Amino acid sequence: MEYPADFWNERYAQEEFVYGTQPNEFFKTQLDKLDAGRILLPAEGEGRNGVYAASQGWEVVAFDISAKGKEKALGLAKERQVSVHYQISGVLVFQSDVKFDAIGLCYAHLPAEIRKQAHQHLLQFLKPQGIVIFEAFAKAQLGKASGGPKNEAMLFSVEEIKDEFAELEFKFLKKESIMLSEGNYHKGEADVIRFVGRKK
């Protein structure tokens, strides 16, 4: 199933940040290796990664289908005294006149029927030699209580990553078992796929 805007608006309506206010650990580690530039963050939710990137000097463009997510993200940005350009948009309708130095995809689980198309759509906004930082749940996550879609088709395999991001040269691509501690909804042992890729 696809998770509609109403699902995310309801989840993000809670006062606490449901995935926490700290950036995803893998995203932070990899971002810290790069020179600041312009970054695109699809499905950015409550803004934890965008706010961190902005605090490190990045020009951040983020989008999500959830108006509540945007509201919380902009509140967090104001609290941290940084600026994030945040749009309400679906992935396939997102457009940009500028190209990005990096794209961060953290738990951006899209419906299987549009996923490859969506990833191809996003990659057109990445500069040649631009970097993608990615972390999402692997298919082995199904049935675990630490988060993620309950639909296996929305989870990832290494083979699917290679197919859907064929334009990238992978510097790192691995399925890993990790301990998640990101708010109330990403907590506990989890199976994820992580990669860093450079656009050819």
Q: How far apart are CA 180 and CA 197, in angstroms?
A: 23
Q: How far apart are CA 71 and CA 81, in angstroms?
A: 15
CA dihedral 161, 166, 170, 172 (to 10 degrees): 0
Residues 90/118, Cβ–Cβ less than 8 Å: no
pLDDT in tens, 59-112: 999 999 999 999 999 999 999 999 999 999 999 999 999 999 999 999 999 999
pLDDT for 15 equals 86
Just give the CATH number of 5-199: 3.40.50.150
Question: Which of 84, 127, 70, 85 minimizes the C-alpha distance to 103?
Answer: 127
Tell me which residues of the chain have a pLDDT lower than 70. Answer: 1-3
pLDDT for 1 equals 41
pLDDT for 128 equals 98
pLDDT for 3 equals 64
Domain ranges across the chain: 5-199
DSSP-derived secondary structure for the chain = ----HHHHHHHHTSSS-TT-SSPPHHHHHHHTTSPP-EEEETT-TT-HHHHHHHHTT-EEEEEES-HHHHHHHHHHHHHTT--EEEEE--TTT---SS-EEEEEEES----HHHHHHHHHHHHTTEEEEEEEEEEEEBGGGTT-TTSS-S-GGGSB-HHHHHHHTTTEEEEEEEEEEEEEEETTTEEEEEEEEEEEEEE-
